[in-house]
Amino acid sequence: MIGRRVSHYEVVRALGAGGMGVVYEAEDTRLGRRVALKFLPPHLGRDAQTLERFQREARAASALNHPNICTVHAIDQHDGDYFIVMELLEGETLGQLLARQRLETAQLVDVAIQIADALESAHAKGIVHRDIKPANIFLNARGQVKILDFGLAKIEEGIARSNDATAAPDLTLPGTAVGTVSYMSPEQARGQLTDARTDLFSLGTLLYQAATGVLPFQGEVSALVFDAILNREPLPLTQLTPGAPPELQRLVDKALEKDRNLRYQTATELKTDLVRLKRDLDSGRRTAVENGAGSGATRPAQAAIAVLYFENLSGVKEDEYFRDGITEDIITELSKIKGMKIFPRPTVLAYRDKSVTPQQVGRELKAAYVLGGSLRRAGNRLRINTQLMDANTDFPLWSERYDRELQDIFEVQDEIARKIAEALRITLTPQEREAIAVKPTDNLQAYDLYLRGKSHVRRVTRQDLEFALQMFEGAVALDTNFARAYAGIANVCAQYHYHYQRDAVWMDRAVTAAERAAALQPHEPEVLVSQAWIAYARGRYDDAVASARGAIERKSDSEGAYYVLGRALFAAGRYQEVANMVDAALMASGDDYNVYVPLNNALGALGKEEMLRNVRLRRIQALENHLKLVPDDARARIHLAGDYVFTRRVEEAAREVQFAVALRPNDANVMYNVACVYCQMNNKADALAALNKAWNAGLRDGDWARRDPDLAILHDEPEFLRLYGGEAV
């Protein structure tokens, strides 16, 4: 299968195999994401009952939308081969982990809470899993649980038929034992009808095994295991694991009750006891730390909080702009509270989509608290799970789950800020309450359009700027008082005028939008950045510098502020001022690779070769990371090509040039940078040809081109002088 194309999926590698399926990693060529494909083995693919079980797995899982259940995207067939398309998971099964070690109580309880939460959701939808066991519990790199394989699930008839009008509600007949023997409930072992309590018995078996390292009901053959399940009691858990708390023993005993009327009746009931146990464990650990029994680490005196980017659970890569926007707005909201020190966006960017613990983040950033969570967007519904952790003890101070309509997102952000303040016993002033209650817009659709546009602006190409402009104009059409969207229009129109079309109509549109934005919110950093771009595009570099610095004073990590500041200083010949701000600019700009452009040019013009080399190496890493997420960013690719030449990776540079030109063959900005790369290769002819294309496509900034060290070998060429003026040197 490896290397084959199945429908619109390119199979990359094998991940594993079992009795009911073979799983591969594949590339979804339509959506540009990695997925897992689960195929029926060929010898089973024609068996009607096996095929129905396979389809049942897809129907059951796809009927659920829960962060602890593996997401199923589709079921399909290709050349007679049936396969399920699922989210790609990285980590290992609980079975693989338990083969090496038993779980510590804290980890065991955390895993159990997640499983119980998922079962609560499944049971509410009328779905009983019937095969809960370690092999069907997956742990990703962040310790998040994912329940797998709903192939034996019992589905209420209404759900089955809503997915498939011909599907039978249950494949098994009364009197048939269904499941994996060692984890069966007594009613499964007897072949009786099953319900939600069956899964809770299996979960109790799993917890016993995870805590002790052995199964509660054992036997050399299935008949002996059945007898143990039906007639024998397991050894006390605390006897095999002396350090286990008595409450864990009571909890597991109740889950393993043979009479299901005496067992936990719902997953909610079991989850409640688990959460209570977790609270007691965490409280005891925190008391030990406070009494000096901990690691000796000291908590920073100030309430320093690192807000990590929420995990995007939507399974849709295109939703990441929304995840990023929500997280960044929460950072902004919390920054309005004086009793908190909130780490700026660029500081926490390094942890985005990475597997880290609160203690690790706290140690590396010297943060007292870490706010993390996940976000799942489905249609007009939004689920946000968030938790504030004490970075010193891993003790959760506050957590909440929000299941809301998208239109409620601003109220959710407001509530998160207030709840965190309450958890830290910070009393908000009336002014702070008023500040965090301010919404950027009352229209959720306008907000969504704004975030979409914002995600494209920094790519700068004509196509991306046109898309961003369309989004911003749609936003202000929905909300005529949306200051940030007006600032976005001004920013885009000024850049479009500068890069692509020196027509007064673009500057007029920029000025009109900027004036409207300033009338609404004159001190908004985004408004000041747009004013800086207008001044820069007009060649008024001192005004651009003043506006950009004003934005930075109000918000150190203002989007694009250091980039336009660096461009204005460089165009004005103030190279040393650019060099002086290198560290601050890189720290504040995060993943905005544009900021490197004026920094590299100024360092090159000053002859600071060692510093330039270090900055270029940092940009290579930033661009390579960015292109993993946004592979079609032509501007990023052409900048990476230039850096590859600088580090003598010429073949890779040539590949990136070809890729960038193929993506945007007539883009002025891309062609200008192609000229820069060819100059670094000492290829004057191709450099001049590319520069002509850039000129004809609208990029005609003589101040910049005449100062650009990347074009130094062209500065005395007649063709360059014809385009950009100046005198031969």
549: Cβ contacts below 8 Å, ≥ 6 apart: 565
Residue found by looking up tokens 């024998």 in the block: 232
Mean pLDDT per 10-residue run, the chain (729 residues)? Answer: 86 77 86 86 61 70 78 80 85 90 91 92 85 91 83 53 36 44 90 89 96 91 89 88 87 94 92 88 58 42 80 75 85 84 84 85 87 84 88 83 80 84 82 83 89 87 92 96 96 93 93 96 94 95 96 90 96 93 86 91 89 88 84 91 91 94 91 94 94 92 90 93 66
Q: Dump pLDDT digits (tens) for 535-582.
A: 999 999 999 999 999 999 988 888 899 999 999 999 999 999 999 999
Rounded to 10°, the helix 541-554/525-537 angle is 170
In the set 110, 117, 131, 390, the catalytic residue is 131
Element (H, E) at 638: helix 634-646
50 HSE (CA, 13 A, CB side): 14
Q: Torsion angle of alpha carbons 12, 17, 22, 28, nearest 10°?
A: -30
Angle at Cα 395 formed by Cα 274 and Cα 91, nearest 5°?
70
Give me 602's structure tokens.
């100024």
338: Cβ contacts below 8 Å, ≥ 6 apart: 429, 432
621: Cβ contacts below 8 Å, ≥ 6 apart: none
CB atoms within 10 A of CB 609: 10
696 HSE (CA, 13 A, CB side): 9
* DSSP H helical ranges for 219-319: 222-231, 237-240, 246-255, 267-290
- Give, as one character, the DSSP assignment of residue 344: P
Q: Cα–Cα distance between 285 and 279 in angstroms, integer?
A: 10
Judge whether 130 and 194 are in contact, CB under 8 Å: yes
Q: Cα–Cα distance between 614 and 544 in angstroms, integer?
A: 28
| β-strand partners of 398 | 388
Rounded to two decimals, the pTM is: 0.53
Q: What is the 3-state secondary structure (H, E, C) of 691-709?
A: HHHHHHCCCCCHHHHHHCH
CB atoms within 10 A of CB 43: 8
Question: Distance between terminal CA atoms of the chain?
Answer: 61
- 131 counts as catalytic: yes
Judge whether 26 and 11 are in contact, CB under 8 Å: yes
- Give, as one character, the DSSP assignment of residue 294: S
Judge whether 391 and 357 are in contact, CB under 8 Å: no
Q: Cα–Cα distance between 186 and 2 in angstroms, integer?
A: 43
23: Cβ contacts below 8 Å, ≥ 6 apart: 14, 15, 16, 17, 36, 37, 38, 39
Q: Give the per-residue pLDDT at 673.
A: 93
Distance set, CA 595 to CA 328, 589, 639 (Å): 19, 7, 12
Tell me the torsion sign for CA atoms 289, 294, 298, 299: negative
Tell me the torsion sign for CA atoms 117, 92, 53, 229: negative
Tell me the torsion sign for CA atoms 466, 468, 474, 476: negative
AA letter at 296: G
Q: Give the per-residue pLDDT at 158.
A: 42
CB atoms within 10 A of CB 263: 21
Give me 204's structure tokens.
């109790």
| β-strand partners of 446 | none
Judge whether 396 and 389 are in contact, CB under 8 Å: yes
Grouping H, G, I as helix, E, B as strand and the rest as coil, residue 405 is: strand
Q: Cα–Cα distance between 653 and 658 in angstroms, integer?
A: 9
Burial degree of 434 (CB within 10 A; 0-12, 13-18, 19+): exposed
Grouping H, G, I as helix, E, B as strand and the rest as coil, residue 353 is: coil
Q: Torsion angle of alpha carbons 226, 228, 234, 235, nearest 10°?
A: -130
Judge whether 205 and 186 are in contact, CB under 8 Å: no
- Domains belonging to the chain, first-starting first, are 5-87 (3.30.200.20), 91-282 (1.10.510.10), 304-437 (3.40.50.10610)
- Determine how β-strand 91-93 pairs with β-strand 137-140: antiparallel
- Determine how β-strand 381-390 pairs with β-strand 145-147: unpaired
Edge-to-edge strand ranges of the sheet holding 91-93 = 91-93, 137-140, 145-147
670: Cβ contacts below 8 Å, ≥ 6 apart: 461, 634, 635, 638, 660, 661, 663, 664
Q: Cα–Cα distance between 230 and 190 in angstroms, integer?
A: 9
Name the CA radius of gyration of the chain, rounded. 30
Q: Counting every residue, how long is the chain?
A: 729
CA-nearest of 664, 723, 665, 725 to 699 is 723
